[in-house]
Structure 1
Amino acid sequence: MADKEFDQEFVEYIVRGIVNNPDDVRTERIVDERGVLITLHINQEDMGYVIGRQGQTARAVRTLLKIVGAKQNARVNLKIYEPEGSRRPPRREDSPDRRREDSDRGGNDDFGGSDDDTSVDDLGI
């Protein structure tokens, strides 16, 4: 493992402890001007374990990876590779994750961008 960086080894170590097929875990590390991108490849049967309920496990791994990256003064992101023909249903346009992404970008009229003049104060919140 001398050719792998610490952040890459860290992801592999964490994920191998979660999955049923640890020998199928592998990562690719790409560095560019935006930072480090680690792409995680796992057995399709283990996808649910790595993502977790409502993405909680994947979010936790990403948070830990950001901390590891911060110690190295690097921006590190994790991409979980999803092979063609995966069992996950397509994401609905009105899913909570989609709305959250849109609101972060300011592009969804349901969150802060509507023509309605109602404010939080008007709602008594």
Structure 2
Amino acid sequence: MKALIESIVTPLVDHPEDIVVTRSEEDTKVVYHLTVNQDDVGKVIGKNGRIAKSIRTVVYAAKTDGEKRIYLDIM
């Protein structure tokens, strides 16, 4: 999942070397924290959050049946 998030976000940003994806797991969910360069945050979120919503949709759809619920936090 980490590689999927990185492959989606890399073409969107000007500083791909600053992309960091961390994973934290809880009882019922898995949270992926996406951190990008401060200059690229707007590009990843998009106008009215449309790009962020699209990224989340793809990540949620990639979940397999046996996995816990997945969340993507963009910072």
The structural deviation recorded for 1:73 is 3.0
Gaps of 5+ in 1: 1-6, 82-125
Sort the Cα spacing of 1:54 and 1:23 in 2 relative to 1 into closer, same or farther, 3 A: same
Give aligned pairs, total. Answer: 74
Sort the Cα spacing of 1:46 and 1:63 in 2 relative to 1 into closer, same or farther, 3 A: same
Query: Which 4+ runs in 1 deviate beyond 3 A?
Result: none
Instruction: Identify, as 1 or 2, the structure richer in helix.
Output: 2
Instruction: Identify, as 1 or 2, the structure richer in strand.
Output: 2
Identity within the alignment, %: 31
1:8 aligns with 2:30: no
Question: Over the residues paired in the alignment, what is the CA RMSD in angstroms?
Answer: 1.1
TM-score for the superposition, normalised by structure 1? 0.56
Gaps of 5+ in 2: none
Relative contact order (C-alpha < 8 Å, sep 6+): which is higher?
2
TM-score for the superposition, normalised by structure 2? 0.91
2:45 is aligned, of 41, 51, 70, to 51
